[in-house]
Every structure is written in structure tokens, then in C-alpha cells.
Amino acid sequence: MLHVKNLTAAIGDKQILKGLDLDVGDGEVHAIMGPNGSGKSTFAHALAGRDGYEIAGEATLDGADLLDMEPEERAAAGVFMGFQYPVEIPGVNNMYFLRTALNSVRKARGETEVGARNFLQIAHEAMELVDMNEDFLNRAVNAGFSGGEKKRNEILQMAVMQPRLAILDETDSGLDIDALRVIAGGVNALRGPDRSMIVITHYQRLLDYIKPDFVHVLVGGRIVESGDYTLALHLEDHGYADFVNTDLNDAPERPLTGAPS
Amino acid sequence: MTTTALPDSDPSAAARLDALDRIGEIGYPTRRDEAWRYAPHRQLGELSFGPPVEVTRAVPDLDARIPELGGPRIVIVNGLVDLNRSDLAAPDGLHVSTLADTLAERPEQVTTHFERSGDEITDAYLAVNIAFGNDGAVIDVADGVTVDVPIHIVDVEVPDTTANASCTGVVVHLGRGSSATVVETHLGVGRVFGGSNIRTTAELDDDATLEHVLLQDVPDTQIHLSRVDVTQGRRSTFRARSFNLGAAYGRVAYDVLLAGEGAHADMSGLYFGFGDQVLDQQVTVVHAAKDCTSRQSYRGVLDDSSTGVFNGGIDVRPGADGTDAEQSNDNLLLSNRAEVNTQPRLEILADEVACKHGATVGQLDETAMYYMRSRGIAADEARRLLINGFADQVVDDVGIAAVRTWLTHRLGHDHE
């Protein structure tokens, strides 16, 4: 489904992704873990199409070249990104926003648009999934929402959009345990054979609730280790220290003298 | 500027002649006058303000161009009430009449509209309006009456080839404890140069509530001057909602005097400019009594080479203790040729005063654009949603659904 090869991303002179390889198959859930500044969010934005990066390498979804597309075209192709910091849009009604989003991708795919009545049903089912009540729909997008409400709104949008590939960027950050459970429940309900997910997180905690098929460690803009769920448990016990040192060893400009043996 | 002779004499004639004399003393405003810095003085000078001129072209069906409010309506064309298009029938406790009839029959009812001391006549266009604006609308609400239907005043300017510009007067009086909604829709016809100068005087007795909506949508070949002077009694509430949308130069000026203790002025407005439009808001709220509150909240969206102006004053007089005043002005620039000039003016001469003001000028939020596009919404549509979202926060302040609908259509229509 998703094929990423030798992906690099830079902002100006600063190289953030330095040749990232990743293959995600149908229905798989991949966790990407890594210390702060390792390039986790940049990877998510590179797939979603944020402006401002110089991108090279390959990223295809079902064979289609994502890097050649505008963000809205990627959404139509089936990419959905759950933002670490969902954006507040005062004055734009949440329901109207959701329906416009859904109908925009349907239109781009040559499908019929969903009418107001049918949409309400879709929205209600999605709201149930993340335990949100009706008045969320009538508020402005994320405006004045608490941290937990914003993250639930992301999952609600994902449930409405029914993406082929969901990239969840630190969806667990800033959540208490109850909110985390609700959100993980929503994500798990959306797992399916036709939908793949990339779950980006700093902490292993989220993976207790959303059990990944594969875990990758991202350090210094590269995936330095891949494994199954037990890799996450290892990170929980030992932190990223092993991998950070590995990365330093790879950096030739950095003298190793004095490094602990 | 050419002026013609005064129309038929009436009881206010002396005051009106005095006003003309005052022009000789103060002259016409120039760019050096802060309140008139962005006005097109050369074009203003080419306008011929004077008594009403005959309408020389067909006035199209107005119903399609104004909100349908269903209540009493006064239509003024080139400074004269057009009774055929008006409906003066009013519920009990509300009296709607023409300014010309009121001047002839009950001149004392409109004395304060015309009789201004020399000091109060601060600019020549006010003087011109006092001198020539002898027709228009008079609205009087009796004590304790709540008027359920909005009262609609429609002012239409139909210029011919003489650069004619009309003067219109509106006088509103709300008796003690009464409440009413007045909507003024200012329109123009044709694509030629012309102007209008409309002035409203509103007096709110104690505990009265007035919602005053001003919709300015004249063609951009015209110059439009609106002025609203308000005097508020104790515990009265004035809600002003202005939408300054049309005209080459569209000016909306408010002068609100909080004269009685505990009065409240709640004012908001939107200006939305395209092309070379200059949209000018001049707002002054004077706190002259204790424990009054005022809110000014104005938003501008400026595209192409348009210019927005917000000049907002809070003037707290000695003794007006317990004043609570806030002012905000937020602007969205859609083009790098668009411009906004925002200026707060605060003068505080009392104790225990809470005054806040703030202004912002920004462009479309790129992060929000990206967020919406990542949800599949195309860039043009995302842009439209963001702009409407910004503007709708003022539209939502309007209590009358028919006006909100009219505005949504007007705003959506123009930038699609």
C-alpha cells in the first residue's frame, strides 16, 4: 500500500529526514517511535503535503506518487493525517467543515456528494465512536476545544473521511488516561483490512491500547531499528539511549574519543 | 463644490442657514484632519450636494436588492421620500412619518436634529446635511412599547450626469423603557459618479433599547457618507451593527454619547473591500456618566488595492467613574496591495476606569489553510471558508435572520 524509499526532507540547510525507508501493507498498523527532534512529525507532514520542505525520494500510495500531489489531492487519494496540534478555525462550523471535507474528496474521486441528511447519520456514528455529543458539531472547528476534545475531533474526522492510510501524529500527547482510552477505542474500531495506519508516538503508553503490527525506531531522520511489538517494550525499559548512540557512531564528523565503552 | 439655494422655508430654516454659514468658518475637511485623512477630497469637491433633485432614470425593483423585513418601510430616493414605495403603517405605540411632514407639522420633534451649536458642527459635510437634508424618516416609539417588527429605512441615490449628491435625515426617538430595531439600507442605482450624505439622530430615553443595523451597499462609482449621532439615557442599550460594503469611498461614522448612568453601547461592524475601495469607520463613544459600558468590535477584510480605516475613540469625561470600555479591531489582508489604517483614540479623565483596546492585522492563516487542505478541501474553497469564518463572526451579531441571510448572500456572492 504505502511505499517509502530513501525519503529526505530539509528546511533550508537543515536536513531532517535523511533517507527513510518504510513499507506498509494493507491493514497493517505501524508504530514509529523516536526521541524529540528525530523527524517523526516531519515524516507525517511530508506524507500529508505540508509546504516549506524540500523533499526528495519516493513515497507512493497504491502506486500513486504522493510527492507530486497537493495536500487535497493526497486526501482524495486516501491519506489522512491526525495532527499533533489540531488547528483552531474560528467562525467555521465543525459540521459544515466536515461535510465540505467529505464531499470534496468524494467529488475528487468522481463519487456523488452526501446530502445533509445522510451526512448527519455519518457524523452521528462517528461521534459515538469517540464519545462526543451533538454540540461539538455546532461549534467552530477546534475553537476553544480542550486538548482532549481536539484530539477526539481528529479521530471523528478520520471516522468520517474513512481514509486508506491514517497517519496519527502524537495523538496521545497531552491526554489523560481516560481520553487516551476513548481515542484508542475509536482508532481500533477503524482498523480494517483495507485501512493501514502509522501511529507516531514518543511514548510506549499509547501502544498498550493500539497494538501495532510493527514498531520502528526513528533517530536522526532514519529508521534505525524495526521489530514487532516487543521493541516498544524494550524502549519503555531502556529509552532511546542505545539508538541515539548508534546514530552518533554513524556520524563521521563527530569524533568518538571519550565515548563510553 | 456647488451649492444651490435652500428649499422652501420652514421652522428650522434659521438653524439650517447658520449651518451653511458655519462652512464659511471651518471650511471643508482636508487630509490634515485626522477624521478625514483617507477621504477622497478632490472627488468630494466635485459632488454637488444640495436639495433633492429629480430622478431622471428608472429606479429598478428594490425588493430584490434589500432584505425583506415585513415591517414599516420608508424609501427615500435622492433625498425625497417616495411614498409609493413606502409603507408607513405601524403597530400601536410606533409612529413612522416623513421628515418633511414632521418639519411642517411637529417641528419641535426634530429640533435636536437641526439645531446644533457652532461647536457641534465639526465638519462641513455635517453642515451640508443640516442645511439640505430636510426629508427622510422620523421614528417615534412611545414609552414602554416593544416594537416587534424591524423598521426599514431604504436610502437610494440615483445620480444623473451632474454629480448630484443627496442629503437625507433620519430621526429616531425611543421613549422610556421601549425597544425597537431599525435597519437602514443604503443603495445606489447606475454606474455614474454621485454621492449621498445620510445622517441619523437617535435619542434613547431611560431603559430604552435600540438595535440599529446599517447596510451600506452603494455602487463603487459613488461616494457615501453615513453619520449616526446617538444620545443615551440611563440604563439604555444601543446596539449598532454596521456593514460597510459598497462605494468608492464608504464612510460610516458614529458619535455615541452615554449621557445617563448605567447606559450601554454595544457596537460591531464589518468592512469588506475590493478593487480600489476605501472603507472608513469613524467611531467615538463618549462616557459622560457613571457606570456606563461600551464595546466596539470592528472587523475588516481587504482585497485587491482596497483600504480600510478604523478610527475608534473612547472619551471618558471627568466624573464618569466606573466606566468599562473595550475596543477591538481585527483585519484580514488578502492582497499585498491592500492596506488598513487602525487608530485607537483614548482620552480618560475619570477614576476607576477599565479601558481595553487592541488591534490586529493579519493574512490568511497558512496553518489553517494546510489543515483544511489536508482534509481534502481545495485551496480556493479553504480560502473562502476562512474568509467567511472571519466575517461571519460579525454577521452572527445581527439579531434579524432576514438581514443575516441578505449579508450571507451579499458576501458570498461577491467573492466567488
| DSSP labels, chain A | -EEEEEEEEEETTEEEEEEEEEEE-TT-EEEEE--TTSSHHHHHHHHHT-TT-EEEEEEEETTEEGGGS-HHHHHHHTEEEE-SSPPPEEEEEHHHHHHHHHHHHHHHTTPPPPPHHHHHHHHHHHHHHTT--THHHHSEETTT--HHHHHHHHHHHHHHH--SEEEEESTTTT--HHHHHHHHHHHHHT-BTTBEEEEEESSSGGGGTS--SEEEEEETTEEEEEESHHHHHHHHHHTTHHHHHHHHHH-TTS--TT---
Cell numbers at residue B34, please?
Answer: 485626522
Chain B residues near residue A104 by CB distance under 8 angstroms: 375-378, 381
* pLDDT of amino acid A255: 40
Q: Read off the amino acid at residue B111.
A: T
E-strand spans in B57-135?
73-77, 80-81, 94-98
Domain boundaries, chain B: 13-260, 365-416
Q: Which residues pair with A225 in a beta bridge?
A: A217
* pLDDT of amino acid B325: 98
Give the whole-angstrom CA distance, residue B130 versus residue B197: 10
Closest by Cβ to A75, choosing from B376, B381, B393: B376
* pLDDT of amino acid B70: 93
| Angstroms from A68 CA to nearest CA on chain B | 14
Cβ separation B374–A90 shorter than 8 A: no
Question: B379 to chain A: nearest residue by CA?
Answer: A72
Question: A87 to chain B: nearest residue by CA?
Answer: B368
Least confident window among A234-243, B166-175, B285-294: A234-243
Instruction: Work out whether the CA dihedral B362, B364, B365, B366 comes out positive or negative.
Output: negative
Cβ separation A74–B374 shorter than 8 A: yes
A91 touches chain B (CB under 8 A): yes
Q: Calculate the CA B351 to chain-centre distance.
A: 31
Cβ separation A91–B375 shorter than 8 A: no
- The phi, psi pair for B280, rounded to 5°, reads -120, 120
Chain A residues near residue B390 by CB distance under 8 angstroms: 90-91
Count of beta carbons in the 10 Å neighbourhood of residue B174: 29
Count of beta carbons in the 10 Å neighbourhood of residue B107: 13
Summarize the confidence of residues B178-202 as an average pLDDT.
Answer: 96
Chain B residues near residue A74 by CB distance under 8 angstroms: 374
A residues 26-65 lying closer than 8 A (beta carbon) to B: 48-51
Chain A residues near residue B373 by CB distance under 8 angstroms: 49, 70-72, 75
* pLDDT of amino acid B6: 47
* Nearest by Cα to A4 from A22, A17, A28: A22
A243 touches chain B (CB under 8 A): no
* Nearest by Cα to A29 from A173, A215, A201: A215
Closest by Cβ to A87, choosing from B371, B379, B390: B371
Residues B318, B349: contact at Cβ < 8 Å? yes
Angle between helices B379-395 and B401-414 (to 10 degrees): 150
Residues A187, A62: contact at Cβ < 8 Å? no
Give the whole-angstrom CA distance, residue B357 versus residue B269: 16
List, in order of start, the domains of chain A with CATH numbers.
2-250 (3.40.50.300)
Give the whole-angstrom CA distance, residue A74 versus residue A108: 10
Cβ separation B392–A91 shorter than 8 A: yes
* pLDDT of amino acid B50: 83
How does pLDDT run across B31-84, given as a tens digit for each residue? 999 999 999 999 999 999 888 887 877 788 899 999 999 999 999 999 999 999
Q: A with B: how many residue pairs have Cβ under 8 Å apart?
A: 82
Give the whole-angstrom CA distance, residue B162 versus residue B177: 46
Cβ separation A108–B386 shorter than 8 A: no
Cβ separation B371–A104 shorter than 8 A: no
How many residues belong to chain A? 261
> Which H/E stretch holds residue B26?
helix B13-26
| Percent of chain B topping pLDDT 70 | 96
Give the whole-angstrom CA distance, residue B96 versus residue B107: 15
| Angstroms from A51 CA to nearest CA on chain B | 8
| DSSP labels, B265-293 | EEEEEEEEE-TT-EEEEEEEEEE-STT-E
Interacting residues of A95 by C-beta distance below 8 A, sequence separation 6+? A119, A123, A137, A138
Preferred mutation among A47, A70, A72, A114 to probe B, highest tally of B CBs within 10 A:
A72
* pLDDT of amino acid A248: 47
| Angstroms from B378 CA to nearest CA on chain A | 6
* Nearest by Cα to B39 from B49, B47, B31: B31
Give the whole-angstrom CA distance, residue A149 versus residue A146: 5
Chain A residues near residue B376 by CB distance under 8 angstroms: 72, 75-76, 101-102, 104-105, 108, 161
Interacting residues of A93 by C-beta distance below 8 A, sequence separation 6+? A137, A138, A139, A140, A141
Question: A47 to chain B: nearest residue by CA?
Answer: B374
Helix (H, G, I), strand (E, B) or coil at B29: coil
| DSSP labels, B351-389 | SS-EEEEEEEEE---HHHHHHHHHTT--HHHHHHHHHHH
How does pLDDT run across B107-150, given as a tens digit for each residue? 999 999 999 888 899 999 999 999 999 999 999 999 999 999 99
B222-232 and B194-204 beta bridge pairing:
parallel
How does pLDDT run across B315-341, given as a tens digit for each residue? 999 999 999 999 999 999 999 999 999
Q: Which residue has the cell 473591500?
A: B273
Provide the residue-wise pLDDT of chain A in tens; the chain has 261 residues.
999 999 999 999 999 999 999 999 999 999 999 988 899 999 999 999 999 999 999 999 999 999 999 999 999 999 999 999 999 999 899 999 999 999 999 999 999 999 989 999 999 999 999 988 888 888 999 999 999 999 999 999 999 999 999 999 999 888 888 889 999 999 999 999 999 999 999 888 899 999 999 999 999 999 999 999 989 888 888 888 878 765 444 444 434 444 443
